[in-house]
Chains A and B, each alone.
Chain A
Amino acid sequence: MDRPQRRSGLLNVGGAAALAATAVLTIAAAPGEPPPLHAMRWLAPGVDVARILTHTPVECLTRSRNTEDTYRVEIGRAAFRTPLLLGGQAARAGIACATCHRNGRTNPDFDFPGVSGAPGTADVTSSLFSAHRGDDIDDPRPIPDLGGPKDRLKISQAEGSPALKIFIRGLVIEEFDGPPIAPAVLDDLVAYVRALNPKACGPTATTPMRASGAAEDVRRAVRAAQAALTRGDAPTAAVMVESARSQLGDIAERYAGADVAATRSQLGQAGLDLAAALESMRRPGPTNARERLAIFLARSDGWMSAITRDEARSLYDPGVLTARLAMDSVTPRH
């Protein structure tokens, strides 16, 4: 299972349009130093990092007019996006369901040491990720596009079939060593995956990643937490808040420069607000979590404005990201 050659420390970064439309810049990452975006760590060598990490596949999510269905899909959608659903090495590396299935799709550039073969593949029975299902056989498989045709997927998603639920539970608990998953969250993950449908994909394959879109995902997760609390489902609400926190961290990671420090600070404060809400949920007895979440949402306009204002100076901007990568290549940090 050990691969004879891992990435050599060289990351090939496509020049963004702002710098050089056609140039492909090969840069050397500082040895052992974490890259500016953690998602770079599992990108295949030679890919256009700036483009990949500033664009995302279009989500093919079917909208429902049914309130209950919408609630369940929103819960599943947020759970899909948090590493804390998983365990072991995957979670420690920051892997979530959405890492391999970006926006519920696939990830043709995924290349994880000891787990991937060709880019876009994963051996989910690798002992690196699993203490339960490791089979010591190096058999990475292509990561399926969950927004693709249902009949091409291995697991039946037919209504009434338990296959998908059993499969997802096995993935989370056994293949990724995740902690026990709240029953409702498991059901809602199933609901989310079922709601992905090629008919809902839209005309374009990818779309630029925007700070506002990422922020709205955070707010959706918090609203889902509020809805779960209203239903008296604190465990599910906690997963939602954890998802909001980790997604907020993904945003903060993009505001790394000294010139956007104030915005990063605002995001940090928002993270503390979510942590306080989570702590309130965990505490026995009366909780003020709902109030804290409401306050969070009320305050979110402030940091959303800030991240939108500073977006052109953040790593959401392909040019800024490319420049940052190039700077890292010539400025050793040690």
Chain B
Amino acid sequence: MPMKRLGLAGVAGLLAVAAPLGGALASGGGGGGGGGGGSMPSMTTPEYDPAVEYQNGMAAYQAGKFKDAARNFSHVTEAAPGEAHGWHMLGMAKVGAGDVKGGSKAFERALKIEPGSIDTAREYALTLVTLKLTDRANAELAKLKARATTCADTCADAAALKAAVTAVEQASTPAGAPAAALTTPGGLIFAPDGDAAYVRAVSLINERRYAEALVALDKAEAAFGAHPDVLTYQGYVWRKLGHLDQAEAHYRAALAIAPTHRGATEYYGELKVIEGDLPGAKVMLARLDAQCAFGCVEAEELRRWIDHNGDPGS
């Protein structure tokens, strides 16, 4: 028998550690639609507990069980249809399971609720490219470009917008530069071409020669485009140089391209520790713990930062 709901507000604590998007979901979600906030529970009682379904969906998604994840997230959207994150993850799971058309519809629904989501806009545009709905894909790309132009590299979302535009453009032109591994830790080190600049950049970072590292990272970016590995280390260097806003922009850009990028998640969490945002850092840690079913150094390093309330090596 399916679980009965607990009430969205009642699962806030669970979701806060269960999934990165859960906080918004557990908050009752904005953006209109039904199922929010625990009002009139006797009339809006969903059949599934959205918190549990979301948690299970994330676990299934991380395990590559996309069909199972899609089932879980569809339960989330049944229970909380006004919550964009549920639709977004439903789209991700459907695409993972090969149902691009279904995923596209889910992203479209998420965008109606939360039009400003760059992540969802990017994913939606990518599905349109895959479905060869060129006109609609170009229209979505144009929207992203317009936002990027308006931002003019000065708003907080500048790097994320830039990365989204790049991702959609590259998908639209498959003959372009080959995509490199997006989420594999240290993936670019093993990339077949152009790795010399990236390897050099990492070495220079370790030598604390940050200005030179930025130059090397620019070379790597020229070879790979706005790759999350490059963006992550650009963010890291900016952080080391004391430009925390720049650092955050680059981490966000990396995560916009690859939401499960371990390095970007870890370093973004460390940045949050530096800024005194321990709850935010813990959200990043929860993401890593969810991704790393068999453990990973990124999670352990961020855990040490949180435990020390700062750089444990300082």
Contacts and interface: CB of A to CB of B under 8 A. Distances in A.
A139 B165 CA distance: 42
Interface stretch (B37-45, B198-206, B275-283): B198-206
B295 A134 contact: no
A38 B186 CA distance: 11
B297 interface: yes
B185 to A, nearest CB: 5
A87 B190 contact: no
A130 B295 CA distance: 22
A195 interface: no
Given A179-B304, A246-B294, A32 B203 contact: no
A32 B187 contact: yes
B199 A2 contact: yes
A217 to B, nearest CB: 14
B300 interface: yes
B190 A113 contact: yes
Interface in B173-226: 174, 178-181, 184-187, 189-193, 195-196, 199-200, 202-204, 206-208
A265 B65 contact: yes
B133 interface: no
B203 A179 contact: no
Interface residues of B, number: 38
30 contacts: A8-B192, A9-B192, A31-B180, A31-B191, A34-B184, A38-B184, A83-B297, A84-B295, A84-B297, A84-B300, A87-B301, A89-B186, A94-B185, A113-B199, A126-B203, A127-B206, A130-B206, A131-B207, A136-B207, A179-B312, A246-B294, A246-B295, A252-B294, A261-B65, A268-B63, A268-B293, A271-B293, A271-B295, A272-B293, A278-B295
A242 B303 CA distance: 14
A318 to B, nearest CB: 23
Interface in A126-165: 126-131, 134, 136
The 10 closest A-B pairs by CB, nearest first: A249-B294, A32-B180, A9-B192, A31-B178, A127-B203, A91-B297, A114-B199, A245-B295, A93-B186, A2-B196
A7 B192 contact: yes
A271 B294 contact: yes
A47 interface: no
Interface in A36-67: 38, 41-42
A92 B295 contact: no
Contacts of B298: 92
A196 interface: no
A171 interface: no
A88 B206 contact: yes
B181 A275 contact: no
Contacts of B57: none
